Structures are given as structure tokens and as C-alpha cells.
Homo-oligomer: A and B are copies of this chain.
């Protein structure tokens, strides 16, 4: 068994709770500007536009474009859809940067701190560098390095996003463990030879989430949260966890 040197983390949903954060930011915006909409629906619609926007880049239909720009284009469409198109530029920009201010799940910072003591901990997210760095400063996420989409110029689950992230660390895929709350992300990384760790976030998509609730495949590790993952991953003799 090859020792794992680096843990690569999906961020949106796995490390931070984007949905309740965006809802709270929307409510604050609404209070400032006298806007009354269903912010949970707004948050869900904004996130629903995420994959189609990235797919335009993945498919080559448009050149490399960072997530901040994709988020902003989606936001401008949504503001129109929700009838609040008169919001000024400063307010739009601030709201778009809500993605830079997402709040971590309660176990995330402490779990990462523990994992950092023995492993390289890096992001492998579709967020751009500025977004992930600002989020880290805001939330106290102690990353050693920000990898993933922008530095590799590929959006997950394209293989280059994972492979080039490992290569930048000077590591083989098998020396890296992808950590995510999403089965699809882990299937993609696992197919490339990465170790895999599933941590469920059963309310990421709200109280009625009915997918990504359990590990749907055999992963290297499965843990309830980052505290348990730190404990499991620091026991190299335990080997892969059976599902």
C-alpha cells in the first residue's frame, strides 16, 4: 500500500455549507435593499446553473473562464428572473462574492487542522484561486495549497483537474486522496488511481436531499465527518475501509 502524502479536498458542499450561507447572504441583501424573495429557492437556482455554466467551458464552446465570472453571469440572469434587476453594480459584486464567504461545516476547520499535521492538505475545487484563498482567510481554513480548476485550467470531473493537481505537488495519484461528499467526484478521481474518501453532507442541498447520502461505491475511506476522517487517515495500518 503506497502511503498517502496529500489530501485533496472538494470544497463546495464538502468543506463549506454553500446553501445556508447563500441563503443568509440573500436575506441580508434583501434586508438592506427591501427585496423579498424565497432565498432558499434563489440559492438552489444559482447552484443549479453551476454545472451547465462549467459545461460550456469543458466542452470547448467557450474559452477558459473562472468560476467568479460564471457565478456572476448566472447571478445577473437570476436577478432578472426574480424581478430584482435594478440592483446596482456594487451590490451585485458583493453578492457574487458571497461564494468567497461561505461558512465551513462545524467539523471542517478542526478536522483540517488535524489532517494538516501529518499530510499536505490542498483544495481540488472548481472554485478559482481568489475565491478559495479569500474563503480560507474568511473561514480559517488552513490549506497548504490551492489546486484544482484555475491552476490546471480544467473543471472537474475532467481528468486534467485531478492529474495536474497531483503533478504540481510532485506526487503520483496513488499518493493523493481525494476527499468529497459527492460520489461522482470520487468515481472520477478513483478511476485515475487516486485514493478516495467519502464524507457525507446529507443537508448540503437542503432538508429534502435524496442523493449523495451514502457511499455508493468502494472507497479507500468513509467517515462521518472531518474529525473522524483525521482519525481514520492517521491509522495507516487500518487499510481501506469496506463499505
A contact residues vs B (CB 8 Å cutoff): 68, 120, 122, 128-131, 133-134, 136-137, 143-146, 150-151, 168-171
- B-side contacts of A150, CB under 8 Å: 168
A120-B137, A129-B170, A134-B170 given; 9 more Cβ-contact pairs under 8 Å: A68-B170, A128-B168, A128-B170, A129-B145, A129-B169, A130-B171, A133-B144, A133-B169, A136-B144
Nearest residue (CB) in B for A132 is B145
In the complex, 14 of the A-B residue pairs with CB atoms within 8 angstroms, ordered by the A residue number, are A120-B133, A122-B133, A128-B168, A128-B170, A129-B170, A130-B168, A130-B170, A130-B171, A136-B144, A137-B144, A143-B144, A143-B145, A145-B145, A145-B146
Contact between chains at B168 and A129 (CB < 8 Å): yes
Copy tally for this chain in the complex stands at 2
Q: Bound complex: CA of A168 vs CA of B120, how far in Å? A: 21
- Distance in Å: Cβ of A105 to nearest Cβ of chain B: 21
Instruction: Kindly report which residue of chain B lies nearest to residue A165, judged by CB atoms.
Output: B129
Which chain B residues lie closer than 8 Å to A128 at the CB level?
168, 170
Residues on B with beta carbons closer than 8 Å to the beta carbon of A144? 133, 136-137, 143
CA distance A170 to B120 in the complex (A): 24
> Which chain B positions have C-beta within 8 A of A133?
120, 122, 144-145, 169
CB distance from A129 to the nearest CB of B (A): 4
